[in-house]
Structure 1
Amino acid sequence: MAERAGHRAAPAHTHPEEVPVQTALAALADPVRIQLVRELAASPVWTRSCGSFDVPVGKAALSHHFTVLRGAGLVEQRDEGPRRVNRLRREEFEACFPGLLDLVLRPDARTQDG
């Protein structure tokens, strides 16, 4: 069955319980993805659309980064009208990888000291 023009399929989500630790670490190894996770952590849930992040990549690369984060169980997305909004799966991820998000979200001492 063909999709209607302008309608996109809902994204597939991976639960953190299904994610090997290597996949979680690889997802968090990229500076752009770390920035996305940090911005999501600082925002109320379901308020950030994909295009609202201040990252130095184009639309296709941004889509790839969100795909990686979803595949690692870090992000959940849903469509609200024309916008795709995001939620950091903090509690679910923390239950599977205790302390890992805290390490990622911790301010970097090098940026604090100048």
Structure 2
Amino acid sequence: HSGTWQVPRGFIVQTVLRNENSKMWRKYMIKKAEMLRDIKVDPATLRAFEEKHGLDKYRTINDVHSTKVWEDMMDAGDERLDANVNEWYLFHGTSAAAAKNICSTDFKMRLAGSMT
């Protein structure tokens, strides 16, 4: 992090940490299964939910560049993302201290962008 408000023009990857949290993964997979069920079983349920909550019509977004690049590198047997529920690969850069904290606890949305 440069310590300024300006968006960096480039970056150098110094370290990569992989975080696997089985509890959060289970919650994610349960929610994904619920979304797929709602979309496939009863599209009217989805429309009613959107109308009730004042949401725009559900749409899929298929042009996420990080997902395209990553999927080009995957093997044939690897599990693919499901565009029906807008599943994307996103990458997050942060300080070493913040990365270690995320890995030991969890990613907190309220702190997202607090270093930019």
TM-score by length of 2: 0.21
Larger Rg: 2
Question: How high is the TM-score relative to the length of structure 1?
Answer: 0.21
More strand as a share of residues: 1
